[in-house]
């Protein structure tokens, strides 16, 4: 008798109706109720609709109320949202604006100089006075999609191996993914979510809509600084935050770090967290859930779903289990690990294949690139490019990116395995292992290591540390100390490390 197209922006209607008088957004010293947030977003839609003329609207902003409002206001204007990575160059941003055919760019004043270097920008709206004047003068509107698989947003990949691809999200996928995030992370009206994950990254893993669906409180954070994060955790009563393992490391070893009460639930993804950092976060009182996904899967498509019977295991065993990528989330299909023969690998914890995904939280495709879309899912299953194994309990564990496997003398070395052993050393904060050319073995592992502040350890000591725990051929042949290059979402840029290797390791 009734059918409503699924759209994540409807969650704001519900939050305003049921919890309209409660605080929905905290941004510095500014606070808005859910009723006020809905009004602002509908006014944003009213202001943008005549300017956009059916074309996408791009936003270049840190995690402020402006980008949060865009996740509702832009779709309500009837056009797709393009949330731009704030760490890109003017040339990269120009490419995205041109490729997406963006009609409008809303930008934060901190990017004024960057925006001034765009060669042919679209209509510009500056956050602050101009933005507020537009909202004040606009007539509220809210256009619901007639087709729930209509284009909701375009998220661009990092483009480390070529031009970035425009990943197309649909309303249905974001609606369902947001519900999955509510369920898996335990969001509720009493929750306070701190924005430590960039909202431009996979639309913040769909958490702008998930937090709103739960009528929880958004706490905006323009820049992740450990001291400020710890201050907000304590002052605002933060209960939830998300981020890459590098964000966890920043918080866990900050001078301000201390036990939290009540427990803060953390979702982490983007790279496998080491058991060492998971143990440290547990000691501080954080409950960490490991998620796995890609831009193409609306963010987290898999979750290390915790089993109650694991509670009786010791801390080391629990940390090893938490480091696994897990199983498909509640709205996804069961993940597959496919071998070279096209068949599922046995669930023996050792047979390696490519992790492949399917479900409502897989993209529509790549914008203007049908060939790449077809290659990404040749049989309807999206090939992630990540290699993994399936354990007897059905949980998947990532072994490596296919391009990051080191083949030394005919033996495969999973860089993740070596990295996790290095992270067990008390002096090591984080590590990345890549291949270096070798005259005899073809290639060998080289480790790049960042130490804890004030810590000291020698190269040979670390090599021996790994040899005591793994086969000797898996140990790094050399160790380089220093800071690791990272993307804006905290992923270590291994290609830069590989590019930086000069000559052949002896």
The whole-number pLDDT of residue 496 equals: 85
List, for residues 137-194, the tens digit of each pLDDT value: 999 999 889 999 999 999 998 754 467 899 999 999 999 999 999 999 999 999 999 9
How far, in Å, CA of 25 to CA of 33, rounded?
7
With tokens 């925006």, the residue in question is: 115
The whole-number pLDDT of residue 489 equals: 65
Q: How much of the chain, in percent, has pLDDT values that exceed 70?
A: 96
How far, in Å, CA of 297 to CA of 307, rounded?
24
The answer as to whether 32 is a domain residue is: no
The whole-number pLDDT of residue 414 equals: 77
Of 412 and 117, the one with more pLDDT: 117
Q: What is the mean pLDDT of residues 393-416?
A: 79
For residue 168, give the 3-state DSSP assignment. Answer: strand
The whole-number pLDDT of residue 160 equals: 47
Q: How much of the chain, in percent, has pLDDT values that exceed 90?
A: 76
Mean pLDDT, the chain, whole residue set: 92
The answer as to whether 483 is a domain residue is: yes
54-68, 272-286, 467-481, range with greatest mean pLDDT: 54-68
The answer as to whether 104 is a domain residue is: no
Domain that holds residue 482: 405-500
Angstrom CA distances, 461 to 56, 306, 425, 465, stand at 54, 35, 10, 6
pLDDT value at 129 more than 60: yes
Say how many C-beta atoms besides its own lie within 10 A of residue 489's C-beta: 21
Residue positions counted in the chain? 506
pLDDT value at 441 more than 80: no
How far, in Å, CA of 8 to CA of 150, rounded?
12
Question: DSSP string of 95-144?
Answer: HHHHHHT-SEEEE-GGGHHHHHT-SS--EEEETTHHHHHHHHHSPP----
The whole-number pLDDT of residue 167 equals: 98
List, for residues 374-390, the tens digit of each pLDDT value: 999 999 999 998 889 99
pLDDT value at 85 more than 70: yes
Total domains in the chain come to 1
Strands 104-107 and 57-60: parallel
pLDDT tier at 407 (50, 70, 90 boundaries)? Answer: confident
The answer as to whether 496 is a domain residue is: yes
> End-to-end CA distance of the chain, in Å?
73
pLDDT value at 319 more than 50: yes
Report the CATH number at residue 485.
3.30.300.30
Residues 6+ apart with CB under 8 A from 379: none
pLDDT value at 457 more than 70: yes
How far, in Å, CA of 209 to CA of 13, rounded?
11
**Residue 43: both structure tokens together:** 């006014």
Q: What is the mean pLDDT of residues 87-100?
A: 91
pLDDT tier at 39 (50, 70, 90 boundaries)? Answer: very high
Of 401 and 368, the one with more pLDDT: 368
The answer as to whether 287 is a domain residue is: no
pLDDT value at 466 more than 60: yes
The answer as to whether 16 is a domain residue is: no
pLDDT tier at 498 (50, 70, 90 boundaries)? Answer: confident
The answer as to whether 88 is a domain residue is: no
The whole-number pLDDT of residue 409 equals: 67
The answer as to whether 272 is a domain residue is: no
How far, in Å, CA of 28 to CA of 437, rounded?
50
């Amino acid at each position: 008798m009734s059918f409503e197209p699924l759209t994540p922006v409807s969650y704001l209607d519900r939050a305003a109706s049921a919890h309209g008088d409660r605080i929905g957004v905290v941004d510095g010293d500014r606070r808005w109720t859910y009723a006020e947030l809905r009004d602002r977003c509908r006014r944003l839609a009213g202001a943008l609709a005549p300017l956009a003329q059916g074309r996408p609207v791009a936003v270049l902003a840190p995690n402020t109320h402006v980008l949060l409002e865009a996740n509702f206001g832009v779709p309500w204007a009837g056009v797709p949202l393009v949330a731009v990575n704030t760490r890109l160059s003017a040339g990269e941003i120009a490419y995205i604006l041109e490729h997406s055919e963006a009609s409008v760019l809303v930008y934060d004043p901190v990017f004024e100089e960057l925006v001034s270097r765009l060669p042919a920008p679209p209509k510009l709206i500056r956050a602050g006075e101009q933005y507020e004047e537009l909202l004040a003068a606009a007539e509220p509107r809210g256009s619901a999609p007639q087709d729930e698989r209509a284009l909701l947003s375009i998220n661009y990949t990092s483009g480390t191996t070529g031009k970035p691809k425009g990943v197309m999200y649909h309303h249905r996928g974001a609606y369902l993914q947001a519900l999955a995030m509510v369920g898996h992370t335990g969001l509720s009206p009493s929750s306070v979510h701190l924005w430590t994950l960039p909202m431009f990254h996979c639309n913040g893993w769909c958490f702008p809509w998930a937090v709103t669906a739960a009528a929880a409180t958004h706490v905006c954070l323009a820049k992740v600084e450990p001291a400020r994060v710890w201050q907000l955790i304590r002052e605002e009563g933060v209960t939830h935050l998300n981020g890459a393992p590098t964000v966890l490391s920043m918080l866990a070893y900050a001078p301000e770090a201390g036990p939290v009460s009540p427990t803060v639930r953390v979702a982490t993804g983007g790279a496998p967290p080491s058991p060492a950092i998971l143990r440290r976060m547990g000691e501080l009182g954080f409950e960490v859930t490991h998620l796995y996904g890609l831009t193409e899967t609306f963010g987290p498509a898999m979750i290390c779903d915790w089993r109650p019977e694991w509670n009786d295991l010791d801390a080391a065993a629990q940390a090893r289990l938490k480091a696994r990528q897990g199983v498909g989330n509640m709205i996804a299909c069961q993940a597959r690990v496919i071998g070279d023969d096209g068949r599922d690998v046995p669930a023996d914890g050792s047979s390696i294949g490519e992790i492949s995904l399917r479900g409502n939280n897989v993209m529509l495709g790549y914008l203007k690139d049908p060939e790449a879309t077809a290659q990404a899912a040749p049989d309807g299953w999206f090939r992630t490019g990540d290699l993994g194994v399936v354990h007897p309990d059905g949980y998947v564990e990532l072994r490596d990116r296919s391009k990051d496997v080191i083949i030394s003398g005919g033996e495969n070395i999973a860089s993740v395995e070596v990295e996790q052993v290095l992270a067990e050393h008390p002096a090591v904060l984080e590590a990345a292992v890549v291949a270096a050319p070798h005259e005899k073995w073809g290639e060998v592992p080289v480790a790049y290591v960042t130490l804890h502040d004030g810590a000291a350890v020698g190269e040979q000591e670390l090599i021996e540390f790994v040899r005591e725990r793994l086969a000797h051929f898996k140990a790094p042949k050399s160790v380089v100390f220093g800071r690791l290059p990272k993307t804006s979402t905290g992923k270590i840029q291994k290609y830069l490390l590989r590019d930086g290797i000069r000559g052949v390791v002896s």
